[in-house]
Structure 1
Amino acid sequence: MVDAQQVRTIVGVIGNVISFGLFLSPVPMFWRIIKKESVEEFQPYPYVFTVMNCMLWIFYGLPIVHKDSLLVTTINGVGLGIEAIYIGIFLYYCGDKKNFRRNIGLYLVAEIIGVVAVVLITLYAFKNYKTDFAKQTFVGVICDVFNIAMYASPCLVIKKVWTTKSVEYMPFWLSLISFLNAICWTAYSLLYKIDLYVLISNGLGTFLCAIQLAVYAKFYKSTPKGGSGKPSEIEISGTEKV
């Protein structure tokens, strides 16, 4: 008989597969950059931001912070490697864009310092606590802030959609996959042992993605056909959420 822990593992594996799809969603954009040998007007910052998110969730899923969350660590470890490749492509094809490489480098250094600080505070400031609750709270709240921000990022285009009555720049597939991803990880957080911090960010993420899909459904028919065909910056910045 399948118990709750086994069901949780199965749901977590499904969540890993969906999250992996989210990580790969920007591949067409990067293939375009490689073919044209130019980053054009695309921006690297969503991917730089995702590096921070992945590093934090990798740490959160380790047994020293949260037991029974190895699947959170594994998918974000894979995601970190994929994001590193994306950033490498940006750095290689950015040409002579002023301060481009320097800014990316500074952001990455700042993120590494930030994550190291979180790790050190977690390991040393909370080492005398008898339970892992304090560690989970400290790291989990920080992870949730970044995760919620990433779920909310496609909502930035809603005002434009509402004004123009057009979903030309609405990231439908990103919103749909994010919605499925959020539902899956919400279910994962509720099974066997409730993981409050995975639940908070993904529960709210489910709501935010549902809003995005509702707006898309409302204005899909009023969208002029034959748009420019150029993906919006928001649409091609789909990144992983856990």
Structure 2
Amino acid sequence: MVYLAPVPTFIRILRKKSTEDFQSLPYLVALFSSMLWLYYAMLKTDALLLITINSFGCFIETVYIAIYIAYATRESWVSTIKLLVSMNMGLFSLILLLTHFLLSGSIRVKALGWICVAFSVCVFAAPLSILRQIIRTKSVEFMPFTLSFFLTLSAVMWFAYGLFINDLCVALPNILGFVLGLVQMLLYGIYKNAEKKKKPAENLKSIVILGTVGASEVYPVGARPDVNEGAVEHDQTEECNGNEKSMEASGVYPVDARPGLNEGAVEHDLTEESDQGDEKSMEASHDDLQSDECAV
């Protein structure tokens, strides 16, 4: 069941033709662990169950990794291939050669057993590789609950089996596996209903950069390479200063903007202009009357 738990994840990958934010590390580590346990079981007697389970594990994990590589982004593809070559091929071959040529008999079995213990712990801890992402985004979308649940259940079953056959190498790592499985399910319970953190694009404010030549350009704040919010404010200040200078040159001012004048001074000027206009119109009317009398 543990090996089949990721099936919904890979069905989703196949449908969307993308690995999205899923990571390959849990499957690479699971394949490596299955390879080690298969080698360990072959050295022991009466370990048919271990051979059967881990043979199936090697097959199904290889299928998962092949699907992941087929739909991964270039960056994820490169990192997955590097881990596959270095860990699943290089490190396993090194362990195989060292234990085969340097150790023998029961010592080889015990040494390999403790190596399996160490990497079994890594299998249980591998899904925690996205712990930081879960806390940052407050979303467990990319930590499958089924995988964590079945890892926990498997740890209980293998612990019981290890005690039954009196093999500490099988029993001990599953204690930690049970604890780590509970931690993963606890995280899932905390964040499964939490609101997803908003993407930065949703909070961007649009600004318009006005050019002296050509059309205006619209950018989100922080998106234009050479302009930030401070620069925008500086440009706006310079634009206002330029408008003031052009007003000074033309002699046109809005109320309260002409230097040295206040509202009272402006009203006084308006009154004087009105009086002068009335006097001139009266003088013109008087001259017209005199002209008419002379003509008579």
Given candidates 64, 80, 85, the residue that maps to 1:86 is: 64
TM (norm. structure 2) is 0.56
In the other structure, the counterpart of 2:176 is: 204
Given candidates 71, 74, 98, the residue that maps to 2:74 is: 98
With 118-127 and 168-177 compared, the bigger mean Cα shift is at: 168-177
Assess, with a 3 A threshold, how the Cα gap between structure 1 residues 175 and 44 changes in structure 2: closer, same or farther. closer
Given candidates 2, 22, 25, the residue that maps to 2:2 is: 22
8 Å CA contact 1:168, 1:227 repeated in 2: no
1:189 Cα shift? 0.7
Computed over aligned residues only, the root mean square deviation of the Cα atoms, in angstroms, reads 3.1
Assess, with a 3 A threshold, how the Cα gap between structure 1 residues 224 and 31 changes in structure 2: closer, same or farther. closer
1:195 has 2:167 as partner: yes
1:36 Cα shift? 1.7
3-state DSSP of counterpart to 2:3: helix
Assess, with a 3 A threshold, how the Cα gap between structure 1 residues 77 and 159 changes in structure 2: closer, same or farther. same
8 Å CA contact 1:179, 1:206 repeated in 2: yes
Partner amino acid for 2:48? L
Assess, with a 3 A threshold, how the Cα gap between structure 1 residues 158 and 108 changes in structure 2: closer, same or farther. closer
In the other structure, the counterpart of 2:91 is: 114
State the aligned residue count. 195
Given candidates 47, 51, 65, the residue that maps to 1:73 is: 51
8 Å CA contact 1:61, 1:73 repeated in 2: yes
- State the identity %: 32
1:175 has 2:148 as partner: yes
Equivalents in 2 of 1:29, 1:120: separation in Å?
35
3-state DSSP of counterpart to 1:23: coil
Assess, with a 3 A threshold, how the Cα gap between structure 1 residues 185 and 51 changes in structure 2: closer, same or farther. same
Equivalents in 1 of 2:170, 2:85: separation in Å?
26
Residues 35-54 of structure 1: pairs in structure 2 closer than 5 A: 35-54=15-34
Equivalents in 2 of 1:216, 1:100: separation in Å?
24
8 Å CA contact 1:175, 1:213 repeated in 2: yes
TM (norm. structure 1) is 0.67
Equivalents in 1 of 2:21, 2:133: separation in Å?
19
In the other structure, the counterpart of 2:120 is: 147
Assess, with a 3 A threshold, how the Cα gap between structure 1 residues 38 and 153 changes in structure 2: closer, same or farther. closer
Residues 178-223 of structure 1, C-alpha deviation per residue, up to 9 Å, x if partnerless? 22211111111111x3111111101222233345556666x48xx6
8 Å CA contact 2:6, 2:146 repeated in 1: no
Partner amino acid for 1:181? S
With 26-35 and 180-189 compared, the bigger mean Cα shift is at: 26-35
1:162 Cα shift? 8.6
Q: Which has the higher contact order (CA 8 A, sep 6+)?
A: 1
1:58 has 2:38 as partner: yes
Equivalents in 2 of 1:162, 1:38: separation in Å?
23
Partner amino acid for 1:28? P
1:53 Cα shift? 1.3
3-state DSSP of counterpart to 2:21: coil
Which consecutive residues of structure 1, in runs of 5 or more, have no partner in the other structure? 1-20, 229-242
8 Å CA contact 2:6, 2:144 repeated in 1: no
1:70 Cα shift? 2.2
Equivalents in 2 of 1:105, 1:154: separation in Å?
19
Equivalents in 1 of 2:13, 2:101: separation in Å?
44
